[in-house]
Structure 1
Amino acid sequence: MSLSGTSPLSSSREQQLVAFWAPFLLLHLGCPDNISAYALEDNKLSLRQAVDVVCQVLGVMYVLYQYIYLGYNTGDLLPASILMFVVGAAKYIERAFALWRGDLGNIRGSSTEDEQQRSRQRVDSLTVRRRVLDNEQALLLAHGLFDFCRRAMVDDSSVQDEDHADSQAATSERIFSLEWSSMCKVVEMELSLMYDVLYTKATVIHTWGGYLIRLLSPVASATAASLFWSLEKDCFMTIDIIIT
């Protein structure tokens, strides 16, 4: 629709309804929260992929402007389209940012001094009183040690100060002091956390922006649905209404 300039559809109102589907393309491209990549190569957000994101968002903006904003008698379809465009663009850009955060090259050396200090404080605050851990204790320990394990998994040796070496020694001592099954349980959870970083949106979900998107998306979708149902639909085809 953005490239042809004209449409074989019979009426302008039908063009507007098809244009209303464009923001849902961005929602589809944004992927679910538990999937951002299918292989490590997907996380290498190349210049071509970045251009794809920009072109898709601009293409949807043009379609909405051409067929809905400039269309006659838009009614409630314009605000509903704007709401879904904002949600779709946010989810799509969020996925691109998750791919960038999941790139091994960006993970390597990405820990700041403040993050390293907080990780050391978390480790120091975790006191393992028993050599056998239940799932909750193992998960807490895995989160506390994740910064160290993440850098080890990506072979990051950018920090070589004495405090860091002491922290690594304390971390190793803490892990190897566990009973064998508990040690394996912690390692499994570390691998699970690393999987979330590489193949899901975990790194961007647990941020203020991620929380805001998930708070406003259902509200925006429900509002858009209400606006659509309040729209006069006599000139639309029944199958298009059902799909919408």
Structure 2
Amino acid sequence: MSSFVIEETKKLWATWNIRVFVIVSLSVQVFLILFAPYRKRRGKIYGKCVDLLIWSIYLLADWVAGFSIGLIVSKQIKSPTESSDIQVFWAPFLLLHLGGPDTITSFALEDNEFWVRHLLGLLLQVGSTAYVFIKSLPENKLWLPTILVTVAGIIKYAERNRAFYLASFDHLGDGWAPSEWGDELPIPVELQKMDAKTMEKFEKSLKSILWTAVHHFGTIKMTLVGPFLSPDQCSDIRETFLQLENSSHVLQAMEIEVSLLYEVLHTKLPVVGCTIGYIFRFITICCILGA
């Protein structure tokens, strides 16, 4: 009886293992997309619990996606005739998952130092995906969508690796120049419902806070990788902050700068938020829609 149960369990696992891991990988990605930004707005009471949960899911995401591709490669090697076209399609689909969501690339600064390891992982996973696809030819009827999703997956994975590279200590200051935004900053729609007098006062203070934070962000973030600020830079920052109406506005401007710094160090913002990033993101979207 026990041997029968074991055999049936093995058959069930062989049938459903890839499907289960693909679903788990997709669920993990959805969780990170929705809840990773809460690291910036967590409360004091449950802050460590949120950190622990996100850290656990962050580590699980790469493991599940990589292990799933390994299962597909293993099945392709052992029984290529039993591998369906949809299972071959799942390999580049999981490559998209390894690219990770835009909301989180690294959990801590130390994670960015492993960009070389992630680059090797990119080459290994792309090679595994290519192997699975080539082994499925010429019978594969989903060859076109598989190619399109593979292109999108490579771009997403390369974006993540580029984000690691730019946020590593050796390259943290590459391309960082002081920001020079103008005075015209957008006001949220919900704030436009105020009466004219209140809106005029609020709009002035809001623009002043935003402009102060963004204008000096390029200078302040350079202190992470370079020497101390020059006397002229310190004087410029001091004069600008003194122009704010009260101390609470200074704290709000600093909060904006810390939030921007988080986006630079732990998300894909530096990679996606540029002309080349927009072009590759457009290609990725077109590939996914085409597939």
TM-score normalised to structure 2 length: 0.61
Change (3 A) 1:5 1:34: closer
Structure-to-structure mapping, 1:58-207, within 5 angstroms: 58-67=127-136, 70-72=137-139, 74-75=140-141, 77-108=142-173, 110-111=174-175, 115-116=177-178, 119=179, 122=180, 134-152=205-223, 154=224, 156-157=226-227, 165-178=231-244, 179-207=246-274
The answer on 1:25 being equivalent to 2:94 is yes
Determine if contact 1:2/1:63 at 8 Å carries over to the other structure: yes
2:285 counterpart SS class: helix
Q: Please state how far the C-alpha of 1:35 moved relative to its aligned partner.
A: 0.9
RMSD: 2.8
Determine if contact 1:97/1:204 at 8 Å carries over to the other structure: yes
Change (3 A) 1:155 1:92: closer
Change (3 A) 1:222 1:50: closer
Q: Distance in 2 between matches of 1:102 and 1:143?
A: 19
Determine if contact 1:95/1:201 at 8 Å carries over to the other structure: yes
Q: Please state how far the C-alpha of 1:46 moved relative to its aligned partner.
A: 4.4
Larger relative CO (CA 8 A, sep 6+): 1 or 2? Answer: 1
Change (3 A) 1:157 1:50: same
Determine if contact 1:24/1:84 at 8 Å carries over to the other structure: yes
1:6 aligned to which of 64, 77, 95: 77
2:112 aligned to which of 28, 37, 43: 43
Q: Please state how far the C-alpha of 1:61 moved relative to its aligned partner.
A: 1.6
Q: Distance in 1 between matches of 2:225 and 2:138?
A: 56
Please tell me the residue identity of whatever aligns with 2:93: F
Identity of aligned residues (%): 28
Q: Distance in 2 between matches of 1:185 and 1:133?
A: 14
1:105 counterpart SS class: coil
Kindly provide the CA deviation profile for residues 112-138 of structure 1, in whole angstroms up to 9, marking residues without a partner as x: 6xx35xx4xx27x659xx9x9644442
Unaligned runs of 5+ residues in structure 1 are 225-244
Q: Please state how far the C-alpha of 1:15 moved relative to its aligned partner.
A: 3.4
Q: Please state how far the C-alpha of 1:167 moved relative to its aligned partner.
A: 3.4
Q: Distance in 2 between matches of 1:46 and 1:155?
A: 18
Q: Distance in 2 between matches of 1:165 and 1:52?
A: 44
Determine if contact 1:45/1:96 at 8 Å carries over to the other structure: no
Counting helix residues as a fraction of each chain, which structure ranks higher?
2
For these two proteins, the number of residue pairs brought into alignment is 203
TM-score normalised to structure 1 length: 0.72
Kindly provide the CA deviation profile for residues 152-207 of structure 1, in whole angstroms up to 9, marking residues without a partner as x: 2x15118x7xxx54233212221133220111111000000000011111101111
Unaligned runs of 5+ residues in structure 2 are 1-71, 185-200
Kindly provide the CA deviation profile for residues 13-72 of structure 1, in whole angstroms up to 9, marking residues without a partner as x: x433211110011110111111111111111134333211211112112211221xx232
